[in-house]
Copies of this chain bind each other. A is one copy, B any other.
């Protein structure tokens, strides 16, 4: 590629008027299960922004809903689990999945690969810790109190839960790879709530089982979380080819921490997009410059596109990254 590739987490979503229009009246989970709708939503930012990759429109709770968990995605709140998992008997509500349980995802991927041509499609799954946090808390959390309490006080139950989630995630990603995605990203969005020691003991083995379980698939594996300054090395060791970095750690520092064997993805603060074009351009140039220290750099934000973002700024940013990095 003659320039640094660029895509955005949550590039398909509420920042786009064409997304809000097509989603009107369709629930989030329902929209993830309709291949034609997934295809259109996934393609929208590719058409509009000319990003270098599409990312499958989905939600991290899609595979656990397919595994039998009664949940809904509530607008303005996030995933809400009807009966949280707090005891061993609750594990029965989380059965293994087969590719047939997520056939709508395979169908979406096939439709997308046919439409996208040379543009790669990135597959998508939540990591065991982040999925567990929703299942245990019953919804989004700021403190992860019940999640951590189980992790510390009931390590056998914790391991059983995360093992099930690792199996589900592996099947979910393998289904996407078999259907044709060119890369996968494992989102451990909330792993940054943990210290490195706790992450290594209680989380890394499960994420590693997912990432290493895909080693023979021959597609790049991206591993991302927010607020992971102290976890970056461990997240690389979990078996990723590319580590996603939020805006708190400059990419040159990050590559010093993670080492020369991993490409980096990131890491413009999504809030920068609200600061006017001069600031956006200047900060994007800084990210590109710092990214040169890494053995490979995929330009992205440091977290997802915020719904209030002006999509024209994203379009302009893609063009700028292409132009500035080709120089």
List the interface of chain A (C-beta within 8 A of B). Answer: 142-146, 148-149, 152-153, 192, 194-197, 227, 229-230, 247-250, 269-272, 274-276, 279, 283, 306, 308
> Does B194 contact A275, Cβ atoms closer than 8 Å?
no
Q: What B residues does A148 contact at CB under 8 A? A: 269, 271-272, 274-275
Q: Tell me if B195 and A247 are in contact (CB < 8 A).
A: yes
Given known A-B contacts A194-B248, A227-B227, A229-B229, A275 and B306 have beta carbons under 8 A apart: no
Contact indicator A149/B248 (Cβ below 8 Å): no
27 examples of A-B residue contacts, CB within 8 angstroms: A143-B270, A144-B271, A145-B274, A145-B308, A146-B274, A148-B269, A148-B272, A148-B274, A149-B274, A152-B271, A152-B274, A152-B275, A152-B276, A152-B279, A152-B283, A153-B274, A192-B248, A194-B248, A195-B248, A195-B249, A195-B250, A195-B269, A196-B248, A196-B250, A197-B250, A227-B227, A229-B248
Residue pair A227, B152 in contact (C-beta under 8 Å)? no
**CB pair A143 B271 closer than 8 Å:** yes
Q: Which of A195, A197, A272 has the most CB of B within 10 A?
A: A195
Cα distance A192–B227 in the bound complex, in angstroms = 9
Chain B nearest CB from A60 CB (Å) reads 17
Most-contacted residue by chain B among A192, A196, A271, A276 (CB, 10 A): A271
Within 8 Å CB of A306, what residues of B? 143, 145
Q: Shortest Cβ distance from A141 into chain B, in angstroms?
A: 10
Q: How many Å lie between the Cα of A308 and that of B248 in the bound state?
A: 31
Partner of A275, one of B144, B149, B195, B308: B149
Residues of B within 8 Å of A194, CB to CB, are: 248
| Cα–Cα distance between A323 and B152 once the two chains are bound (Å) | 24
Given A143-B306, A145-B306, A145-B308, decide whether A249 and B230 contact each other with a Cβ distance below 8 A.
yes
Does B272 contact A152, Cβ atoms closer than 8 Å? yes
**In the complex, how many angstroms separate the beta carbon of A183 from the nearest chain B beta carbon?**
27
> What residues of B have a CB within 8 angstroms of the CB of A195 in the complex?
247-250, 269
- In the complex, the chain B residue whose C-beta lies closest to that of A278 is B153
In the complex, A37 Cα to B23 Cα: how many Å? 52
Query: Which residues of B lie under 8 Å from residue A270 when comparing CB positions?
Result: 143
Quote the shortest CB–CB distance from A262 to chain B (angstroms).
Answer: 19
Give Cα distance in the complex from A272 to B144, angstroms.
11
Contact partners of A250 in chain B: CB under 8 A:
195-197
* C-alpha spacing A275/B148, complex, angstroms: 8
A247: B residues at CB distance < 8 A:
195
Nearest CB on B from A189, distance (A): 12
Q: Once the chains bind, are A271 and B149 in contact (CB under 8 Å)?
A: yes
Residues of B near A269 (CB, < 8 A) are 148, 195
Shortest Cβ distance from A231 into B: residue: B248
Q: In the assembly, what is the distance between CA of A192 and CA of B142, in Å? A: 14
Q: How many angstroms between the C-alpha atoms of A227 and B250 in the bound complex?
A: 16
Shortest beta-carbon distance from A276 to chain B in Å: 5
